[in-house]
Chain A
């Protein structure tokens, strides 16, 4: 749900290149951490979970202009590394239909991929603290979304600042005439946050409870999908 719906040409070149470099590094790490036999075996699951993420993003929830992201659930089911790959695939598909620019795919993958990884880690921490399954899912999803939305706002904010100033502080003045890295837009962050935060608050609540409800249904039918022992089926 923290997907950045920014079009092409708005984020300065420097920052979307950084997004792609970080994504490439994370994908490289994800692939190296998944051995080739396991990867080949999990290609169908990876592709299909990415498709389910896309479907979740296709179904509007009534009059609220909001759709599910399902990144935390993908992390719980696939684990952090395959989940990161699923985030990249779903972002690439979304960009191909103009739902967020193609230049923003890198930054989007970093943000949604963090949602997958943080969600997976928090879920496992909360799971150890309780025998309950639904509450850890709701808590992990809500907390993850708060962190990643703050991260997304941070990305938008930082991308509006001249990168030379971020990197070199006062010394940037000396190079600003020779380096074409000026931000194309001076953004009012306060205004941006004012628009985003109320929608995000509703979105976090919806996504957290929806993820809990999805996991509750899965636990009742195929608990092993979310890593629960088969005895859960008897509850």
Chain B
């Protein structure tokens, strides 16, 4: 999992897909997932993946570094596929369903900053959840940087070895315990800062770039095309 890498791509790259609005890209993902849910035809998934790969290529993104993230979905779908005993759906279709949905999600998150996605959630979720998600997003990087520094220090001192599970557990217990204490203190500081600044619920999220309706048509058309093919295939 490399949220920092994904976040960097979403913020610092510029392309047609980056300039499309967050709503249009969320709609694209919803349409692709609808197609994934209703279809069992291999050809639909191959076509959807081809569309999504084309969108990646025009998005100025390092496709070969991003696509391995879809491996999570592939690996876990394999357990399910191996357990499958038929029922009108092949293991290949199970894996294609998983990969297609994951690739669509990756296209969304590598071209849209997380806060923009959460800001959309404000219309559906209570304020406390969206605010907490924004805090999670912000503090993840702070805490992850600290944990990475500790892990580098441990490795340099020979304290972390892939073959010593018990030893790793003991050390990880201390590292995560330390992380929890740091997180607790961070939350106390953040709480004080928020109270001083008059927080009454609802953190503002500002757009990082100006979105264009013209560009927003592309992801909607992509998602709609995949769904239409899934319905009529």
Contact = CB atoms under 8 A, between A and B. Distances in A.
A219 to B, nearest CB: 9
Contact of B1 (A5, A99, A225): A99
Contact of B97 (A7, A59, A97, A215): A7
3 pairs of A and B residues whose beta carbons are closest in the complex: A47-B135, A213-B173, A186-B87
B37 A210 contact: no
Interface string A181-221: 00111111101100110000000001001101111111001
B184 A47 contact: no
12 contacts: A7-B80, A13-B37, A31-B126, A47-B134, A54-B136, A55-B147, A61-B169, A90-B136, A92-B133, A96-B114, A184-B88, A212-B173
B101 A216 contact: no
B178 interface: yes
B111 to A, nearest CB: 13
Interface in A112-160: none
B187 A45 contact: yes
A49 interface: yes
Nearest to B195: A41
B218 interface: no
A187 B105 CA distance: 26
B168 interface: yes
Contact of B184 (A45, A63, A210): A45
A179 to B, nearest CB: 15
A39 B128 CA distance: 7
Nearest to A212: B173
B147 A59 contact: yes
A56 interface: yes
Contacts of A89: 129, 132-133, 136
A36 interface: yes
A88 B200 contact: no
A218 B98 contact: no
Interface in B146-197: 147, 151, 161-165, 168-170, 172-174, 176-181, 183-184, 186-188, 190-191, 194-195
Contacts of B191: 41-45
A64 interface: yes
B174 A217 contact: yes
B89 interface: yes
B132 A47 contact: yes
Contacts of A59: 147, 151, 172, 176
B224 interface: no
A48 B143 contact: yes
Nearest to A202: B165
Contact of A49 (B174, B178, B183): B183
A225 B69 contact: no
A189 B97 CA distance: 20
B133 A98 contact: no
B109 interface: yes
A192 B143 contact: no
